[in-house]
Structure 1
Amino acid sequence: MASELPLPLLALLFLVLLPPLCSSWRPADDDDASVSRSVFPMDGDVAWVVQVSDLHISAYIPERAADLALLGTALRAIRPHLLLVTGDITDAKNQQRTTSRQDEYEWVIYKKTIDTILGRGSIEKSRIFDIRGNHDTYGVPHRGGELDFFSTYSVNSQLKRLSTISSILLQGDRSYQFLGIDDTMSVGIRFPANLFGHPTDKRIEAVNSELKYWTNHSKTPVTKVIFGHFPMSFTTSSEKGQRYESVFARQSISAYLCGHLHAKVSKQLWRYHEVRTTEGHKSSFWEWELGDWKDSRLMRILAIDGGAVSFIDHTLKQALQTSILVTYPTDSRSMNMLESEKWSMRNDINVLVFSHQVIRNVSARVFDSHSEFKIVEEIPLQLVASSSVHRPLFHAKWNAENYRSPSPTRYWLQVFVLDSHGVKISSEQRPFSVEGKMAIPTSPWLNYLVFEVQWEDMYQLLMWSNMAFTIVLLCSPKLLYHFVSRSSSYQRWSVSVLSSPIQQRKTSFWLIWFLMEGTRSKPFWLCLVIYVLWLIEMPWFWGRATSENGEIAQMYLSGWSIPFYDGGLTGNKLSNPDVLVITLPFLYLVVAPVIVLIYGLFAEKSIAYLRRSRRIEYSVDLENMHAESVRLLPVAPRALLMKFPDKLVSMTIQFCGSWTRRALLLACLIIAAVHLKLCSKLMSAYGTVPVALSPPLTWMPLLLLGAAAYCTNVHAD
């Protein structure tokens, strides 16, 4: 019989699980947390900046870089105080997008494109601030090395601003601080396990200190805006469990600007954070993700007007014509702050109008949504006199008391512009609240999932939920079978469950029987237990985690262990929870289904044995009865009837007894195909030979399924 695993195959399963020899371990050094400071003058108390993100300049898709000419044209009309490039400057992917590597040619294109924009005189080079994204660190073993092209071709590098924190102050009647944070990994893991921002305790403390610095050293009120590449939902905690949200709340920032998630993932990823500080006070700030330039050609204009922050996003599929940004009052759905003691009602309307044409007329209309959006008031706006030629600020006075309302969306504002060519342009209607009340709309489920779920915590929940389910699946039925099998009642109970009519069979009894039958094969159950324990603590596979010529590294459930050039290994695991894109599909789509299918194969085998024994008993009884009934018939009909029941019974039992097994074997083939697909992607990313020679990941699921299919083949006995 093949009811138990053959000894040679059992030996093979144990041999492939032998751990590799490991090098010595040592803790990794912390990242640099230095700060570069820049100060620029500002006219008045209104400032505006432009943000672009996720350029993904590619050697294989030249249109992305070529279309940056549209950004250059827009900058000539906008004349921003700053240009912020918030990460993923280059694509760092091959043409098939199966693997990642730094391409110097893409960085050369970026530098030439920025130089072309600067040549048009739309902005000074010193006012451009670019930071790394995860694509800009794919495969970079360490910063400052030969593969770290950001350190050579970025604007920040050319101006010697390679600190991980860029502090920028715009000084005028008020002070506006922009703080850029580079939270990319210190060791750039290759795609796909490079997805999260990784702040360190040093950097978080440095950010906290820098936000304090300008508050203490500025003679005017300071409005603070942070920009980075990673959303808060894709930013991990530090080694000591610190997070940025508490620092941002404690230092009363107004907004955090980011990119990373792209417009195709979801729309308008805006999040309002309310955080209770350690002092017990409640503070808040906005988080606004900007969609990508890569496919959507998005650009954001953000303005600060007397401390009030507002923005408008543009899709630059063609040259920017005219842009209207209402800087005050702000949109009550996405830009207001909660009412507080600091709130003061302002009796003015301010609008920035950016255009290549001369603006002849600007007016604003107020609508009442409670009266079918009838016009309540129309207000002409005048250009504010300024010493700066490029300050297109239009202003009007109004009586804000007229628009007090318990509803933050009762009154709506729309601005109309007429240029010198007679072209009329209008802004979108948007609600406002002169009292600063909020009307945050409900986020769609996809927006909530990708932007408001803390994926660091979600990974731990999903991972350990799966592991807990797997351990319970292995241990509980084994313990139950151990206690039940001590008495001689298990076989009788098993037969009674299978023999009872379908209507009387309870699902719980079937499930218990199914699980216990799956654990009856001791060698298989032991192999599964060892395999799961390996997946929890030991390396899954080995591959080139950084560059194509980098050292072979080990990937664990908790992250990567990356070799240093001196041959040691990092004491902590890098790229956690970034490995979720590898581990979760493997755990949920391969490991758990493999265990369930193995249980199913062994349970089906027990059913097949029961049916076989019943068929034998039935055949003996049938032959006795049939011989007696056909004894008086002629010879020819007697021979025919003797053969017919045997064929019918044989065909019926074979059909009824095989469809379940065929379904299980088909499911095994599907899981094997999914597994091989996952492995092929990892081979493309981290090297074919190292991943292929990593049995815990590549071969064990296939070996387990193949061995279970062989050992449960009743017809081979």
Structure 2
Amino acid sequence: MSIGIRYPANLFGHPTDKRIEAVNSELQYWSNHSNVPITKVVFGHYPMSFTTSSEKGQRYESIFAKQSTSAYLCGHLHAKVSKQLWRFHEMSAPTQEQKSSFWEWELGDWKESRLMRILAIDGGAISFMDHTLKQAFQTSILITYPTDSRSMNTLESINWSLRNDINVLVFSNQVIHNVSARVFDSHNEFKIVEEIPLQLVAVPSVHKPLFHAKWNAENYRSPSPTRYWLQVFVQDSQGVKTSSERRPFSVEGKVSIQSHPWLNYLIFEVQWEDMYRVLLWSNLAFIIALLFAPKLLYYFIKKSLRYQRWTVSVMSSPIQQRKAYFWLVWFLMEGARSRTIWFSLLIHVIWLIEMPWFWGHVTSEKGEIAQMYLSGWSIPSLGEDLTWNKLSNPDVLVITLPFLYLVVAPVIVIIYSLFAEKAFACLRHSRRTEGTVGPTKSNVESGYLLPGALMSLANLSDKKILSIVIKLCGGWTRRVLLMLCCILAVIHLKLSSRLMSAYGTKPVALSPPVTWMPLLLLSATAYCTMLNID
């Protein structure tokens, strides 16, 4: 972006249509102006999972596949989050009979992990190895052909031809005396099939690191891309032996798509631009339903005696298959009893949807104060004539999703739970003082018919179940809910402190919806639900 947003809302790459067309033209130029086959490798900062679509909905994946790009190398995630992530992109176009594909390889980082990647192109085949330079440089072995069938091969094509050679790059501070390759058969307990000595190739290089050997590739045809495995062994002039990683290969260029751990899949293969919309609006839909469902239920219960008789019949039935649903209805009704708290929650949610969440120094420590909305940052100096979305969208998901999922939705649930717990405590007290469970004046005046109906029909329903429910929802329940309030407050304060450290303490601390509104709502509810019973 032309204006860089400060961490943590700098998660995505935002290509423009102009930038995508420029990359497409560059790749197309080499296809049109070369008499020899061209191997195309594209470097970029952001993975495709953290790259947004352009203004017209264009994406780099279709460009890379259309232009026969072999690989896209990216970073951004750092080795603390991930290490050696790769993904095979396969795309089909209506005008093409065969599917186009390319590899995406994440590099890790040099800044903290000191990861260095050595990449080689051998007759169009691309291979790489990663080396950590935190310690003294050790002998490194890169097999340039045949390539690893798990992460470097391309799908078998009509023009594919077998290559009867093995090529290896050996980087070492010592003189290399002996290099050999061994082929293993995974279908026969990884027994050695063949051992092949490699010879140094005379190339115009100071260190002359290329070793080569011929073999009969026909011997290793297989329908399985992971049947045969290759490993290279090196001995230097000091007698030190080094071996490469054993890896599968396919002389026919077949690829084996490996299953990745769920965290790698979540980070590298989920399109987070689309996932953000799903997570955001599903959460908002849940919150809105949680707010308005009690009001709709109250309307039907108040207006429809038939619905009330249905609830009475459910409670009086000895076998109640819908009892969980019945208690959920009662929980929602009691949770929204306080109009003041309910309207405060509604105003809070409307504010989060339409109004700025907080203010902060968006670009630098002493930069201008900007506003962060649900749709991104709004910077005053840019004016109001913007025809595109606010900056840093969907980058703000690192702010909005934790706040909505860990603070806003739990606050509403705990507030409802505190009011429901108070209602249970009132039922218990009424039963003890009157000796029977019947409707009291306070229940009738409350306007909620369902709790009164519950009390009047207690003798008809299962008294043991009701007694157990009343006991379980006694004093310890409130203590648990208050403990959850404290835990929620700690989570909220941690999220707020992160925003303060990123965008300034004062502007964030003075922002009502994010900083102090959840704490006020929890405190007010805890006070309102205190029982004043002698």
Identify the TM-score tier after normalising by the shorter chain: 0.7 to 0.9
* Equivalent in the alignment of 1:213: 29
TM-score (norm 1): 0.66
Task: Kindly report which structure 2 residues correspond to 1:1-80, keeping only aligned pairs within 5 A, or say none.
Answer: none
Of 385, 391, 404 in structure 2, the residue corresponding to residue 574 of structure 1 is 391
Q: Please state if 1:690 is matched with 2:507.
A: yes
Q: Please state if 1:321 is matched with 2:144.
A: no
* Contact map agreement 1:255 1:288 (CA 8 A) in 2: yes
* Equivalent in the alignment of 1:244: 60
* Contact map agreement 1:225 1:257 (CA 8 A) in 2: yes
Q: Which letter maps to 2:144?
A: T
CA shift in 2, pair 1:656/1:353, >3 Å: closer
Of 398, 415, 419 in structure 2, the residue corresponding to residue 602 of structure 1 is 419
Cα shift at 1:491: 8.0
Q: Which letter maps to 2:245?
A: E
Cα shift at 1:338: 0.7
Residue-by-residue CA offset, 1:63-106 (whole Å, 9 max, x unaligned) = xxxxxxxxxxxxxxxxxxxxxxxxxxxxxxxxxxxxxxxxxxxx
* Contact map agreement 2:154 2:255 (CA 8 A) in 1: yes
Moved more, 420-429 or 571-580: 420-429
* Contact map agreement 2:430 2:437 (CA 8 A) in 1: no
* Contact map agreement 2:421 2:473 (CA 8 A) in 1: no
What's the RMSD between the two structures over aligned residues?
2.8
* Equivalent in the alignment of 1:228: 44
Of 188, 194, 216 in structure 2, the residue corresponding to residue 399 of structure 1 is 216
Q: Please state if 1:409 is matched with 2:203.
A: no
Structure 1 CA distance for aligned equivalents of residues 273 and 321 of structure 2: 46
CA shift in 2, pair 1:425/1:714, >3 Å: closer
Of 297, 304, 313 in structure 1, the residue corresponding to residue 114 of structure 2 is 297
* Equivalent in the alignment of 2:410: 593
Q: Which letter maps to 1:227?
A: F
* Contact map agreement 2:314 2:320 (CA 8 A) in 1: no
* Contact map agreement 1:478 1:520 (CA 8 A) in 2: no
CA shift in 2, pair 1:547/1:708, >3 Å: same
CA shift in 2, pair 1:500/1:592, >3 Å: farther
3-state SS in 2 of match to 1:587: helix
* Equivalent in the alignment of 2:449: none
* Equivalent in the alignment of 2:447: none
CA shift in 2, pair 1:366/1:610, >3 Å: closer
* Equivalent in the alignment of 2:368: 551
* Equivalent in the alignment of 1:358: 175
Structure 1 CA distance for aligned equivalents of residues 495 and 204 of structure 2: 62
CA shift in 2, pair 1:351/1:500, >3 Å: same
Of 6, 10, 16 in structure 2, the residue corresponding to residue 200 of structure 1 is 16
Moved more, 521-530 or 576-585: 521-530
CA shift in 2, pair 1:395/1:505, >3 Å: closer
* Equivalent in the alignment of 1:331: 148
* Equivalent in the alignment of 1:703: 520
3-state SS in 2 of match to 1:681: helix
3-state SS in 2 of match to 1:213: helix
* Equivalent in the alignment of 1:346: 163
Structure 2 CA distance for aligned equivalents of residues 390 and 213 of structure 1: 34
Q: Which letter maps to 2:93?
A: T
Cα shift at 1:713: 2.5
3-state SS in 2 of match to 1:284: strand
CA shift in 2, pair 1:701/1:620, >3 Å: closer
Structure 1 CA distance for aligned equivalents of residues 17 and 64 of structure 2: 15
Q: Which letter maps to 1:431?
A: P
Q: Which letter maps to 1:465?
A: S
Q: Please state if 1:186 is matched with 2:2.
A: yes
Cα shift at 1:295: 4.1
Task: Kindly report which structure 2 residues correspond to 1:449-488, keeping only aligned pairs within 5 A, or say none.
Answer: 449-487=266-304
Structure 2 CA distance for aligned equivalents of residues 502 and 191 of structure 1: 57
Structure 2 CA distance for aligned equivalents of residues 533 and 599 of structure 1: 19
| Ranges in structure 1 where 5+ consecutive residues have no aligned partner | 1-184, 622-652
Task: Kindly report which structure 2 residues correspond to 1:366-377, keeping only aligned pairs within 5 A, or say none.
Answer: 366-377=183-194
* Contact map agreement 1:563 1:569 (CA 8 A) in 2: no
Cα shift at 1:435: 0.7
Of 127, 130, 139 in structure 2, the residue corresponding to residue 310 of structure 1 is 127
Cα shift at 1:665: 2.3
Cα shift at 1:583: 0.8
Q: Which letter maps to 1:484?
A: I
Cα shift at 1:555: 0.6
* Equivalent in the alignment of 1:524: 341
* Contact map agreement 1:679 1:698 (CA 8 A) in 2: yes
Of 224, 245, 250 in structure 2, the residue corresponding to residue 433 of structure 1 is 250
Identity across matched positions, percent:
78
* Equivalent in the alignment of 2:236: 419
CA shift in 2, pair 1:283/1:566, >3 Å: closer
3-state SS in 2 of match to 1:535: helix
The number of residue pairs the alignment matches comes to: 502
Structure 1 CA distance for aligned equivalents of residues 309 and 431 of structure 2: 15
Q: Which letter maps to 1:510?
A: W
| Ranges in structure 2 where 5+ consecutive residues have no aligned partner | 439-469
Of 652, 662, 671 in structure 1, the residue corresponding to residue 479 of structure 2 is 662
* Contact map agreement 2:425 2:473 (CA 8 A) in 1: no
Cα shift at 1:606: 2.5
Residue-by-residue CA offset, 1:321-358 (whole Å, 9 max, x unaligned) = 22111111111111111101232111111111112222
Residue-by-residue CA offset, 1:378-427 (whole Å, 9 max, x unaligned) = 22222222344454222222221121112222222222223233333222
* Equivalent in the alignment of 1:378: 195
CA shift in 2, pair 1:414/1:504, >3 Å: closer
Moved more, 260-269 or 693-702: 260-269
Structure 2 CA distance for aligned equivalents of residues 379 and 272 of structure 1: 31
Moved more, 433-442 or 416-425: 416-425
* Contact map agreement 1:339 1:435 (CA 8 A) in 2: yes
3-state SS in 2 of match to 1:264: helix
3-state SS in 2 of match to 1:699: helix
CA shift in 2, pair 1:713/1:285, >3 Å: same
Cα shift at 1:484: 0.9
Cα shift at 1:444: 1.4
Structure 1 CA distance for aligned equivalents of residues 424 and 123 of structure 2: 78
Structure 2 CA distance for aligned equivalents of residues 711 and 503 of structure 1: 33
Moved more, 363-372 or 589-598: 363-372
Structure 1 CA distance for aligned equivalents of residues 266 and 482 of structure 2: 36
3-state SS in 1 of match to 2:380: coil
Task: Kindly report which structure 2 residues correspond to 1:78-93, keeping only aligned pairs within 5 A, or say none.
Answer: none
Structure 2 CA distance for aligned equivalents of residues 244 and 387 of structure 1: 37
Cα shift at 1:278: 5.0
3-state SS in 1 of match to 2:79: coil
Does 1 or 2 have the higher relative contact order (CA < 8 Å, sep 6+)?
1
* Equivalent in the alignment of 2:463: none
Structure 1 CA distance for aligned equivalents of residues 512 and 312 of structure 2: 39
Q: Which letter maps to 2:531?
A: V
TM-score (norm 2): 0.87
CA shift in 2, pair 1:611/1:366, >3 Å: closer
